[in-house]
Amino acid sequence: MSMLRQKFNEVTRSLLPVMALVLVLAFTVVRPEAEIIWRFLLGSALLLVGLAIFLLGVDLGMNPIGDYMAVEVATSKSKFKIGAIAFLLGFLVTVAEPDLLILGYQVQNASGGAIGAQMMVYLVSAGVGVLIMFGTFRLLAGRSFPLFMALAYAGILVLSLFVSEEFLAISFDSSGATTGALTTPFILALSAGLSRVKGGQTAEEDTFGMVGVMSAGPMYALMLMSILTGQKHIQGEAAEFAVQQGGVFGPLLRYLPQEFLGSLVALLPLTAFFFLLNFIHFKAPRREIARIVRGLVYTLVGLTIFLTGVYSGFLDMGQLIGRSVAARHGWLLPVVGFFIGMIVVLVEPAVIVLGQQIEETTGGRIPAKIIKATLSIGVALAVMLSMLRIMIPEVKLWHFLLPGFLTGVILSFRSDPVFVGIAYDAGGVASGPMTATFVLAFAQGAAAMIPGANVLVDGFGVIAMVAMAPVLSLMIVGAVFRHKSRALPHKEEKPMPVSQPLPAGRVELYDCVVAIVNRGLADRAVALAREAGAGGATILHGRGAGSHGVRVFNIEIQKEKEIIFWLTDARISRAIASRLYEQLELGGEGGGAVFTMPSGAQGLDIPVAVGARPGTAAHPGETAAHPGEISTAEEMLPEME
């Protein structure tokens, strides 16, 4: 329950600013009926509950599935098998993405049926599958990611010269719609698993970038369809906006069964594929399968509640705010757009997942708050510029996209390598369900009221702008980060912390201090222990390439964990363990564990230290360590086999 409580706290902190801004606009500008305000508040409550449960489900279910699939792909000897599984994973996880299906029906309605929703969904999913396949080959071969993305976007820019403005907007918007609440966590887990199994010096930067790779697939698919079929323009009128009827609870009762069925269909293909492979090959332990099933149930329930809250409470309010601001206070449209973009992106499920994974993978070197702040500012500027584009018909979408992506590609060669993958991933995660619903509704409402604006072109283009902004903004941050990192050696170096001296006198007994920490924190743990008087250490990485974890002291080390051993003077072992526990904050849920054991070494006149030599612990498993414990050998013995 503590994990669920933590998720609730995270989501609440992100959602409250959105609710506050919307309510201020509702009471000062829009002045809607009380029924709509109550519906918005109910939708917000559902969104909070659903998002917290969904994120817990991602941790328990989707991430382990992505890890297993990554192991299957990375350990395969056949290139055909690697390509086939990678394509199938990309296709299956995208074809059932709720955001993409919604966009498909919007395009179908706007085009008068010229582009069918199902055809668009399958076409876009095939494009994603192809790019995931190429991205997997690129990662396993160790090729340059900036060069790969530069070539991918060069092809997109060439194709954009041969399509109409309508297809340009739809193509880029479909790119954002594919990276929704379901696809993004899975692809992030898949790429993280591939990088861990592959290992090497570029493992950290290889963890990110696959979401950015998959985002290019829809653009290729739809632009090639336009060129090959000769369809240049999309004819049709956008559907007239009408506030939902049925009181406060009517839309909720109508959407709840629909979204449950849609979410169930979204999860079934991928789930069936995983359990088929598990029956044939993985043979995961029953306890881990039970954990994955529980996570999938949480994901299903959370996604259903989340989408129900969005569609029953947020869409109407977004349209009404856009229409009212554009009709009554047109000059405020860019200002309101800026604040909506700045706040709404913080509640995107995928943004939260990405921020957590970045902080864990880099061991805190890149804090999640920096990513969130950068994304918030970038998306805010993107929505503001989209409002200006709606107000000024002479300003076209490609006026922003062409120089924006071109600058991002150039900066990718000058940015810190880790930031390159993060930036391309962020372009996809920022344009998730919240942005693709509330912000899109706001833009379409504004376009409907501005003379000369085209809802089909100007409304749909806002997701493309939102997808571009994080790429550019994070590339700039990455370039600054790299510049500062290069400048550090030229500055006066600060003295290293002085280790605590060992107690005077002959060492009688030695203890083995054992710490289990999140992946990426081992080096920091070694430094903290050295400050407390420890010597060298042995580090085991739970990197894994199979279905069973390595068992040490009856503790099964998961792939996301690292275990460190020190042989220390028994008189200071407790102080070392306490320092690790406090400084690494191991008391949090799933944070780790630290304990001491008698080593049997005694009577030596000099300190004994184990040489620091990293090892690998094959096979993923479930961590059985109790979080935040400092135990002695006697306390551990009842648990040991």
Is the same domain home to 257 and 310?
yes
Q: Is the distance from CB of 114 to CB of 149 less than 8 angstroms? A: no
Burial class (CB in 10 A: 0-12, 13-18, 19+), 5: exposed
Please tell me the distance from the alpha carbon of residue 41 to that of residue 27, in angstroms, as a whole number: 14
CB neighbour list of residue 174: distance below 8 Å, 6 or more residues apart:
100, 103, 120, 124, 218, 219, 221, 222
Number of domains observed in the structure of the chain? 2
Is the same domain home to 535 and 468?
no
Q: Residue 245: inside a domain, yes or no?
A: no
**pLDDT value, residue 616:** 32
Percent residues over pLDDT 70 in the chain: 76
Q: Residue 295: inside a domain, yes or no?
A: yes
Is the same domain home to 81 and 31?
yes
Please tell me the distance from the alpha carbon of residue 499 to that of residue 480, in angstroms, as a whole number: 33
Is the same domain home to 123 and 85?
yes
Please tell me the distance from the alpha carbon of residue 547 to that of residue 281, in angstroms, as a whole number: 10
Of 93, 5, 13, 94, nearest to 53 by C-alpha is: 5
CB neighbour list of residue 289: distance below 8 Å, 6 or more residues apart:
278
Angle at 636 between CA 635 and CA 638, to 5 degrees: 90
**pLDDT value, residue 112:** 66
Beta-bridge partner residues of 510 = 569
Beta-bridge partner residues of 564 = 515, 539
**pLDDT value, residue 130:** 94
Is the same domain home to 275 and 419?
yes
Is the same domain home to 602 and 454?
no
Please tell me the distance from the alpha carbon of residue 552 to that of residue 567, in angstroms, as a whole number: 16
- Among residues 441, 468, 483, which one ends one of the domains? 483
DSSP state for residue 536 in the 8-state scheme? -
Is the same domain home to 60 and 149?
yes
pLDDT tens digit string along 488-510? 554 444 444 444 555 656 666 78
Residue that wins the pLDDT comparison between 337 and 97 = 337
Residue that wins the pLDDT comparison between 25 and 197 = 25
- Run of H or E including 521: none
Residue that wins the pLDDT comparison between 317 and 91 = 91
Domain of residue 565, residue span: 509-639
Residue that wins the pLDDT comparison between 45 and 188 = 45
Other beta carbons less than 10 A from residue 349's beta carbon: 28
DSSP state for residue 637 in the 8-state scheme? G
Is the same domain home to 515 and 472?
no
Is the same domain home to 272 and 393?
yes
Handedness of CA 460, 461, 462, 467 (dihedral sign): positive
Handedness of CA 411, 412, 414, 417 (dihedral sign): positive
pLDDT tens digit string along 118-173? 888 889 999 999 999 999 998 888 888 889 988 988 898 888 888 877 777 788 87
- Residues 10-36 have a mean pLDDT of 80
